[in-house]
Structure 1
Amino acid sequence: MDKGILERTFKLEEHGTTVKTEVIAGLTTFMTMAYIIIVNPMILQDAGMPFEAVMAATVISAAFATLIMAFSANYPFGLAPGMGLNAFFAYTVVIGMGLSWQAALAAVFVSGLIFILITVTGLRTMIVNAIPTSLKMAVSAGIGLFIALIGLKNAEIIVADEGTLIALNENLGDPNVLLALIGLLIMGILMAKKVKGSILIGIIITTIIGIPMGVVEIQEGFSPFSLTVDLQTFGAFTEGIPELFNFGMLNIIIAFTFVDLFDTIGTLIGTGARAGMLDEDGNLPKAGQALMADSLGTTFGSILGTSTVTTYVESTAGIVEGGRTGLTAVVVAILFLASLLISPLVLLVPEAATAPALVVVGVLMMGAITDIDFEDFTEAFPAFMTIAMMPFAFSIAEGIAAGLIAYPLVKLVAGKGDKVHPLIYILGVLFILRYAFML
C-alpha cells in the first residue's frame, strides 16, 4: 500500500501525523495490550475451554474488531477480549453458576446482538449517559480488585483457609509461588520505570526464569514457530443455546452488556480526550462507528470462541506516541495476526508468569477510584458497595447490582432523588425483584 493510498484512506496530514508515527504508535499499543494473547486463554481455560483454541479466537477477533475500528471510525484504538469480562465469563457464569462454557458463549453472542441493536438505535449512548459517573468508575475499580484477587489466587500466593476464608500461603518457597512473586516484582519494576510493554516483557522474562527453576519444561524436538490455528471452539455457542432457557440468563446477559457499556464508553472518551478528539461539547465524533466495531467484535468473537471484545484503554500508550488515525489500529491488527506464528512459544508460558499480570492490570484499573467523590456519602456508599461486592461475592454481576440498588435508595433518603435518572430507578427495582424472587 503506497503513501498516497494511506493518506487518502486515513487522512494523515489532516490529523497532523505521518506513516512512521502511526507505525510506531501501533507497535506501542500492541506491546501494551499483547498480554491478552496469553492471559485471556489462561482465564477461559479455567472455565474448561481449550487453551489453543481460545488463543486463536482471541487473536483473530482482536484483529477483526481493530480493523473495523480502523476503517469505519479512523480511530487509533485497539480492541480485544476484555479483562474483567473474561473473568466474569469464567468465574461467575461458568464456575460460579455452573453453566457450560458453550452456554456462556451463547450469552455473549446474544449480548453482541443487543450491542448492535442499541448502537444502531442510539440507545447504547443514552443508557450509558444515565449511569452516574461514580458507578462507572466503581465498576472499573471493582473489576480491578476482582482481577487482582484472581491473580493472587492463581499464583497461589493467596489460598483458601477454613478459619479466615482466605490467607497468605505459608509455603512461599514453592517453585510456582516463588516464580509468581519474582514475576510480580519484575513487572512492578518495569511499570515503575514506565517501560513500554511492561506486562508482556514481564511475562516473557518470568517464563525464561521458570526454565532453570523447573516450572517451564521444554520438550525434545520443540519448535518455536507454527502456522497451525486451532479453531475447535468455532460455532460452539450454538450448543449452549438450549441451556440459556434453563437458567436466569437475562441477568447474565444484562451484566455482560452493562460491564461492556461502561468499559467501552469510558475508554473511548478517556483516550479520545487524551488525543484531543472530543468536540466542544465533550462528545466523541463518530462514536457510533467506534461502538459498532466493539459490537461486531463481540458477536464475531463469540462465534470463534472467546468472551466479550472491547476497546482497550492501553490504546492510550499509542496515542501518547502520536497515533491519531486508523493506521495505528491497522498496525495493531497486523501484529495480532502475526502472533499466531509463535503460538508454540506462547504455550510454554506458565500460570505463574501470567498471574502477576492480572495483579498489575488490577492496579491499573483501580485508578478509576480517584474519580469518585468520597466526600459525598450518597456517591461514596453505592460506589463502595459496587467495588466491595465484586471480589467479596466473587461476582462482577453482584457488584453492579449492589451499586444500582444502593444509588437510588441513598439519593432518595438524602432528598436528592431528583438527581437520579429515571432509568436508574427502573434498574434498581428490577435488581431488587431479582433478589426477592431469586430470578
Structure 2
Amino acid sequence: MQATQNKKTTQNSLLEKMFKLSEHNTNVRTEVIAGITTFMTMAYILAVNSNMLSQAGMDAGAVFVATALSAAVSTLVMAFLSNYPIALAPGMGLNAFFAYTVVLQMGYSWQMALLGVFIEGILFIILTITNLREQIINCIPNVLKNAVTAGVGLFIAAIGMSNAGLISMQTGTLSLGSMHDPLVVLTVAGLVIAAILVCRNVKGALLISILLTSAIGMVTGIVALPTQVFSLNIPSLKPTFMQAFSVPMNQIFSLDMVIVVFTFLFMDLFDTVGFLVGIASKGNLIDEEGKIPKAKQAMLADAIGTTVGAMLGTSTVTCYMESSAGISEGGKTGLTAFTVAILFILSLFLAPLFIAIPSQATGAALIVVGVMMAGCFKEIDFEDYTNAIPAFLTFILMPLTNSVADGIIFGVVSYTLLKLVTNKKEEVNISLIVLTIIFICRFVFLK
C-alpha cells in the first residue's frame, strides 16, 4: 500500500516538474480528463481522413496509421515545447483540398501531393524559426483576434451541427435536419445533456455527455455497437511510407509543384493562425499585449507534424479547434496534449472502439464549445464601424465559407482599408499593410 502511494507521489512529482501544474493552478486528474475530452471530440479524423484520402487512391489502412502517428508526434512536440493544451492532427479542409482538388480535380498523383505537403512543412519550419509566422499573429489587431475567436466558435458549432445531422445542405439550401430522424433526435438529446451538465458546473461535463450520448445511441440501436474493441492487427504503413519521394525529378522542379506548394502553404498558414488565436484566447494563453507567449513553439509543432505526416503518408497537420473542448474542461498545460498523444497511439489498437463513438455525441459537445467561444463577441466595439464591419466579416465568413483563412483575409483587408480611408492610420501597422497587399494579390492571381 505504502509502496503504491510512493510510486503515485513520484509520478505526480515528475508530471509537476515537466508541466508546471501547480503554477497553472491545475492537477493531473483535470488535465487527463481534458485530454480525453479533446481526443473524443477529434477521434473522428481517424476514420474520416483515411476514407477521404483513399478516394485519391491511397491505401486506407496506411493512411489510418499515418494519421494516428502524425497526430501523436505533433501533439507530443506541442506538449513539451510549448506546454500548451493544444492537440494537432491532419486538418479537415486541408485533406479535402489534397484529395478532391489537387488529385481528383487538378489531376496530380497523390505522391506529388504528399511531396507538396512535405515541402510546405519544411518551409513552415524555416518561417517559424525566423519568427515570420509569429510576426503575422502579432500584427493582427485585438478586435480581429476577438472576431477570430468568435468566428472559430461559430465554425466549431457549425461543424458539430453538420456532422451530427442537425443541419443539412440540400439543393444548395441550408436547412434544419428532420426531427423524425432518430440520429437528429440523438443529437438533440446529447445537446440537452451537455447543456445541463455545463450549466450545473459538473467536472468533465463534455466528456460525460459524449459517453452518455454514445451509450444512449447504442442501447437504443440508433448507432451500431462496436463489433470489436481491441486488435493487434495494425494496418501496414508501407503503401504510403516515404512515397512522397517517389515523384519524378521533372515534376519536382515544375510550375505545377510551385502552385501546389503555395496553395497548401497559404491555406495552412492562416488556418493555423486562426485556430491558434481562437484556442489561445479560450485558454487565456494571450498576454496583456495581445500576444501568444509561446506562439513560435506552438507553430513549430504543427510544422514538424506536417513534415513527419507527409513522410508517413497523410495530408497537412494543423492545430485542432476541438482542443477548445479540453480547455473548457479545465485543461491548461501540455499534460492535456500529452494525454491526447498517448490516446492517438493507443487508437492503433483500439480503433474499432473509438470509431464507434457517433458524430451525434461529439457534435453536441462541439456546439456547446462554440457557445463558450462566442463570449468574445462582447469584447468587440460595434459602435465603431471601422472595427465592427471587419470583425463581422471575419466571424460570419468562417462558418459560411467553411474556411477560417477566408474569414481572416476579409477581416484584415477590410480593417486596413477602412482605417486608412477614415484617417485612422495610427491603428494600422506596416505588417498589416503588407498582409493586405498579399491577400489582394492572392485573389487577383489565384482562382
Name which of 382, 391, 401 aligns with 1:393: 401
One-letter identity of the residue aligned with 2:186: L
Asked whether the equivalents of residues 41 and 365 of structure 2 are also in contact (C-alpha less than 8 Å), the reply is no
Instruction: Give the CA deviation at 1:384.
Output: 0.9
How far, CA to CA, are the matches of 1:48 and 1:17 in structure 2? 42
Q: What does 1:218-237 correspond to in 2, within 5 Å?
A: 218=225, 222-230=227-235, 231=237, 234-235=241-242
Return closer, same or farther for 1:180/1:271 CA change in 2, 3 Å cut-off. Answer: closer
Return closer, same or farther for 1:268/1:360 CA change in 2, 3 Å cut-off. Answer: closer
Asked whether the equivalents of residues 396 and 407 of structure 2 are also in contact (C-alpha less than 8 Å), the reply is yes
Structure 2 equivalent of residue 199 of structure 1: 206
Name which of 215, 226, 238 aligns with 1:208: 215
One-letter identity of the residue aligned with 1:175: P
Asked whether the equivalents of residues 413 and 436 of structure 2 are also in contact (C-alpha less than 8 Å), the reply is yes
Return closer, same or farther for 1:293/1:398 CA change in 2, 3 Å cut-off. Answer: closer
Asked whether the equivalents of residues 153 and 374 of structure 2 are also in contact (C-alpha less than 8 Å), the reply is yes
Return closer, same or farther for 1:161/1:285 CA change in 2, 3 Å cut-off. Answer: closer
How far, CA to CA, are the matches of 1:393 and 1:345 in structure 2? 33
How far, CA to CA, are the matches of 2:384 and 2:347 in structure 1? 47
Asked whether the equivalents of residues 70 and 317 of structure 2 are also in contact (C-alpha less than 8 Å), the reply is no
Map Cα deviations across residues 97-150 of structure 1 (whole Å, 9 max, x no partner).
856894766555444323311221222222211111222332332233233333
One-letter identity of the residue aligned with 2:165: E
Structure 2 equivalent of residue 255 of structure 1: 267
Q: What does 1:288-299 correspond to in 2, within 5 Å?
A: 288-299=296-307
Q: Structure 1 vs Structure 2: percent identity of aligned residues?
A: 34
How far, CA to CA, are the matches of 2:240 and 2:384 in structure 1? 47
Instruction: Give the CA deviation at 1:209.
Output: 1.9
How far, CA to CA, are the matches of 1:427 and 1:55 in structure 2? 36
Q: Does 1:115 align with 2:124?
A: yes
Q: Does 1:373 align with 2:381?
A: yes
One-letter identity of the residue aligned with 2:431: L
Structure 1 equivalent of residue 161 of structure 2: 152
Structure 1 equivalent of residue 93 of structure 2: 88
Instruction: Give the CA deviation at 1:257.
Output: 0.8
How far, CA to CA, are the matches of 1:328 and 1:151 in structure 2? 22
Map Cα deviations across residues 229-278 of structure 1 (whole Å, 9 max, x no partner).
3446555666898796385652442231122134335645764659xxx6
How far, CA to CA, are the matches of 2:192 and 2:244 in structure 1? 39
Asked whether the equivalents of residues 65 and 293 of structure 1 are also in contact (C-alpha less than 8 Å), the reply is yes
| Structure 2 gap ranges (5+) | 1-6
Instruction: Give the CA deviation at 1:56.
Output: 4.2
Name which of 33, 38, 44 aligns with 2:43: 38
Instruction: Give the CA deviation at 1:369.
Output: 3.0
What is the number of equivalent residue pairs in this alignment?
423
| Structure 1 gap ranges (5+) | none
Map Cα deviations across residues 307-343 of structure 1 (whole Å, 9 max, x no partner).
423274456467x57x66x666545543443344422
Name which of 181, 185, 188 aligns with 1:178: 185
Structure 2 equivalent of residue 264 of structure 1: 276
Moved more, 55-64 or 400-409: 55-64
Structure 1 equivalent of residue 32 of structure 2: 27
Q: What does 1:48-67 correspond to in 2, within 5 Å?
A: 48-49=53-54, 56-67=65-76
One-letter identity of the residue aligned with 1:34: F
Asked whether the equivalents of residues 111 and 257 of structure 1 are also in contact (C-alpha less than 8 Å), the reply is no
Return closer, same or farther for 1:342/1:198 CA change in 2, 3 Å cut-off. Answer: farther
One-letter identity of the residue aligned with 2:184: V
Q: TM-score, normalised by structure 2?
A: 0.77
3-state SS of 2:93 partner: helix
